[in-house]
Structure formats: structure tokens, C-alpha cells
Amino acid sequence: MLPPAPVTKAGPLLAWLFDSLRPMNRTRIKQRLRHGYISVNGTITTRHDYPLQPGDQVAIARIRPPTDRSLADAGIAIALEDDALIVIDKPPGLLTVATAAEKTDTAFARLNAHLTARGLGRLFVVHRLDRETSGLLLFARSAALRDRLQANWGDVKKTYLAVVEGKPRRDEGVVDNFLLEGRDLRVRAVRKGSGGRRAVTHYRVLATHGPYSLIEVVLETGRKHQIRVHLTGLGCPVIGDPLYGSASDPAGRLGLHAQRLSLDHPVSGERVEVEAPLPAVLRRVVG
């Protein structure tokens, strides 16, 4: 808990928080309030319109680590949680949901166990990340909310960070083609009309350090292995990805991280933005 701060002027709590916590992102401030990190005169409140009076003491709790060992042991951090949504920061190497080969140790199973232990109900998968990709993974708290989120998935802005070999010839651009998965499970670019599905990726080079570059990627579509295939097509395979042409593995993992989700909240309609920082092991590769 940070030391309580005195209120000097009457007004609503949220406005006081915006002013006092500057330059913190407004969405993050609202999340802190919604999740019970704010107290007034020793009592936790989630009311954005709580009427503050001069002399009131407002305290802000530090972000709490996961309390369930099944989350902590798996390296899972909760980035956002409310009555409708849960967003986690998934580590690499962990499946989103069960497969024939791995039925028990998944992000879904770990998070479900965490909720069950707290008596907080069921969990519903909205989308998936590849096993070796880290970053933000969104779940819904009901089937109806899952369906609503999936129906509007095209309106969700999905931003990734990729550490790649080399540097694209252009610092930013758009890759727009058609992708098709072969019998060998590898995805390839094909001509229009060859059975592939359209895939659109926007990219921007953020930094270059020696033989590696950090690229910001925004997905317009969400095809299997889309980012990996498109960056390889630019001559810049993602590090640690021999399937799509990478010759190096300086981080000991795939260099792909789901950094940001920006979406309309399925209940309030408010625009929500959640971020997960680039893991240190990838940050070191690009200086």
C-alpha cells in the first residue's frame, strides 16, 4: 500500500485519481479502481463517483501478485480481471487449451483452477496463442460474453512485438496475401483462388541492434502462424523459429509476444486497453 494522500478539494474520486496519478494511463487507473486497489479513509471503494471531501485520505494498493501457486508456478500473471473478462500474460511453452498430447497443463486449466479455488465460477476461451508465443490471452466469464467478444473480434486491435533476424527493406508497411496450411502443418503463401485465406499484417520497425530487429505488428486478420509466415516473407524470420527459416535462437525461445489488446468492453462498452511488457530475455536481444 502506498502512503495515503490527503484530499484538498471536494470532487469525484475518479477525477482526483486522474490528476494525482498522472501520467499513468487512464485505462489503468480505472482498472485499479474497479479491481479494489483504491481505498478512502481505510475503506476500499470501486465507485468512480465516490464524493471526496477535503481531508479525506486516499490510498492506492500496489499490484498484488497471483495468490494461487498454480498460476505463479506456471509464470502466469493476471493483467486484467473483472466480472466479465480475465486477461493473462501467458509465458512461452504453455498451451492455451488441451490437445491430444497435453490434456492437463494449459493456461485454461491453470486459470480455471485459480477461479475454482476462489469460488468465482467458470472460464470461457475467446481466442488462442501459439504454445511458444507469450503475452496477452483473453478469457470470458460466461458463454454469452465469449460469443459477444468473438462476434466482434474483428474490432479488437491486436498488437504483437517480434524479434527477428535482419531488418525489412522498408521500415513500415503492410503484407496482404493468402495463406494455406499444408498437410505437413506448415503455412505457406499461395495465389488468390488457390484455397488460401486472406491475411493482412501491418508492421513497423521499432529498433535494430546488430543482426536483430524489434518489429511492432498489428493484425488485421488472425490466421494460423500469420506473423511468422509474413515476417519470413519479408526476409526476417522470427528468432527461434526454424520451421519458418530462422537460423538463430539467441533468447532460447520464439521471439514473438502478444503485447497489447484494445477492445470495447462487452458489458460497459468502454474502450479497454491492456498491455504486457516485452519479456526481458527478448529485450536483451535488441539492446
Closest-CA residue to 213 (of 135, 142, 282): 282
Catalytic residue among 19, 73, 130, 147: 130
130: annotated active-site residue? yes
CB 162 within 8 A of CB 240: no
CB 194 within 8 A of CB 178: yes
Residue 193 grid cell: 483462388
C-alpha angle with apex 138: 135 to 139, nearest 5 degrees? Answer: 140
List, in order, residues 6 or more apart from 165 with CB less than 8 Å away: 211, 212, 236, 237, 239, 246, 247, 248
Provide the annotated active-site residues: 130
